Amino acid sequence: MLFGASAGMATIRSLADKVCGTNIPILIWGDRGTGKEALARWIHSNSAYANGEFVKVNCAAIPSTLLESELFGYQKGAFTGAVNDKPGRVEMAHGGTLFLDEIADLDLSLQTKLLHFLQDGTFSRIGDQEERRVDARVLCATHKDLEQEIEARRMRADLFYRINGVSLKLPALHERREDIPRLAEYFRLQHEKQFGVKSNPLPFELLEYLRRLPWQGNMRELSNSIARYVLVGPEAAIQEEQAATRTKTFKMAAEADGTIPLKALAREAAKELERNVILESLHENNWNRRKTAKALKISYRALIYKIRDAGLATRRITRQAEVMLSSSEEHVPDFSGN
């Protein structure tokens, strides 16, 4: 099963289930860090090509002068330095899946050669006249709007139509906030294995706080935050996000239409500052509210009121939350790469 219980991911899961067993071209698109590669690997592992290799090509990371030889290979003597025959990534994917990440960054000249391969499954190495045939599942991904790229004449329309048999759009993390607790706990367990350390389960209050953050870096940012939690503690996990959230909030408030009264902005800033001070004190006192009230030199009743007014959770991890985070048997792919 695919990851996530949100409506957006349920749609992705349903459509991916229907097409993964076919050879229809699939275009995966979404913001950076939303898990495009993870979804591509899931499709590969559930396809008829699962016994073959999953070969990834990052079209944006390889210089255009080298990308053609990386994709299609070359023959000995084809150019200076070609001392041996070298198969390309396309040949390596024979019997498996070729994943072309950031397909929009492919040069137009290479788009033509790729289109020829996608049409009939044949290609030639650089410096070779022999046509070779490859049977591979081809998946493409991008974070760009390809129709805009076509209008800007940076992408061939016929290539777009060829790779866009089925379109799977991955939602940004802020569009699927209900999945954050499950994903955060998954990353915690994964990072424990990665670093060989143990960490405390994520408190319900911290999970609620993480759900409120903007997560512009999507899954990659969440993974890094949980890695800091595992290695250093909850304060390190939220430190950068707190600063980013405060800056973004006040900038938006000041620039919305340029007419926000200074007093209203000052009240908003004071309220946000108080909220962050309470949150930091709660973490320092392991969410013991009586100790927190004493540290802040206010009454327990006043603290409870301020916690509720600030929108901070006041209850510990409930049995329902424990079940949600610990009983899932589904596989959640690694989102850290894409």
Which residues, other chains included, contact 165 with Cβ-Cβ below 8 Å and sequence gap of 6+?
A: 24, 25, 26, 27
Q: What is each CA distance from 128 to 76, 78, 131, in whole angstroms?
A: 9, 8, 8
Among 49-58, 157-166, 289-298, which is the least confidently predicted range? 289-298
C-alpha dihedral (20, 22, 27, 28), degrees to nearest 10: 0
Which residues, other chains included, contact 11 with Cβ-Cβ below 8 Å and sequence gap of 6+?
A: none
pTM given for the model:
0.71
User: CB 170: neighbour CB atoms within 10 A?
Assistant: 27
Predicted confidence at residue 205, as pLDDT, reads: 77
DSSP for 227-270 reads HHHHHT-HHHHHHHHHHHHHHHHHHHHHHSSS---HHHHHHHHH
Q: What is the pLDDT of residues 267-304, one digit of tens each?
A: 666 677 677 778 878 877 777 888 888 988 889 888 88
Q: Tokens for 187?
A: 């990353």
Q: What is the pLDDT of residues 295-315, one digit of tens each?
A: 888 898 888 888 877 766 544
Predicted confidence at residue 327, as pLDDT, reads: 41
pLDDT of 108 strictly over 70: yes
Interval 240-266 mean pLDDT: 51
pLDDT of 78 strictly over 50: yes
Q: What is the pLDDT of residues 185-195, one digit of tens each?
A: 999 999 999 99
Q: What domains, with CATH codes, occur in the chain? A: 7-171 (3.40.50.300), 178-326 (no CATH)
Rounded mean pLDDT of the chain?
83
Model confidence band, residue 332 (pLDDT cutoffs 50, 70, 90): very low
